[in-house]
Amino acid sequence: MKYLININFLIVFILLFVDNCNVSNHKPSFTEVIPIRKNFISGVNMEAPPNPVDSSCFTNMHRIGAKWVSIIPFAFSRQGETMVRYNEGRQWWGEREEGIVACIKLANAAGLKVMLKPQLWIGGGIYTGHFRCETDSAWKEWEKNYLNFILHNAIIAENNNADILCIGTEMDASVKERPLFWNNLIDSVKKIYKGEITYAANWGCFKEFTSWEKLNFIGIDAYFPLSSSVTPSVDELLIGWKPHYEDIKAFTELKKKPLLFTEYGYRSIDKCAEEPWLSNNTGPVNMQAQQNAYEALYKQFVPESWFAGGFLWKWHVNDLKAGGLTNNNYTPQNKPVESVIKNWYSNDQQL
Residues 43-346, CATH architecture? Alpha-Beta Barrel (3.20)
Mean pLDDT of 326-333: 98
- Are residues 209 and 185 in contact, defined by beta-carbon separation less than 8 angstroms? no
Q: Which of 173, 117, 110, 120 is nearest to 146 (CA)?
A: 120
- Between CA 277 and CA 311 the distance in angstroms is 15
Q: Is the pLDDT of residue 6 over 90?
A: no
Q: Residue 124: its pLDDT value, please?
A: 85
Q: What is the pLDDT of residues 119-177, one digit of tens each?
A: 999 988 899 999 999 999 999 999 999 999 999 999 999 999 999 999 999 999 999 99
Residue 4 has pLDDT above 90, yes or no: no
**Could you count the other beta carbons within 10 Å of the beta carbon of residue 114?**
27
Interval 29-34 mean pLDDT: 38
The pLDDT tens digits for 272-286 are 999 999 999 999 999
DSSP string, 1-57: -HHHHHHHHHHHHHHHHHHHHHHHHPPPTTGGGPPPGGG-EEEEEEPPPSS---THH
Give the pLDDT band of residue 1 (cuts 50, 70, 90): very low
Q: Is the pLDDT confidence value at 203 over 90?
A: yes
Whether pLDDT at 295 is above 70: yes
Name the percent of the chain lying above pLDDT 90.
Answer: 86
Share of the chain above pLDDT 70, in %: 88
User: Helices 136-159 and 179-190, interaxial angle, to 10°?
Assistant: 30
| End-to-end alpha carbon distance in the chain | 47
Q: Which of 30-44, 214-228, 331-345 has the lowest mean pLDDT?
A: 30-44
Q: What is the CB neighbour count within 10 angstroms for residue 44?
A: 25
The better pLDDT of the pair 20, 73 is held by 73
Which of 79-83, 136-140, 263-267, 305-309 has the weakest average pLDDT?
79-83
Could you tell me if 218 and 182 are in contact, meaning their C-beta atoms sit under 8 angstroms apart? no
Mean pLDDT of the chain: 90
Q: How confident is the model at residue 348 (pLDDT cuts 50, 70, 90)?
A: low
- Res 301: pLDDT: 97
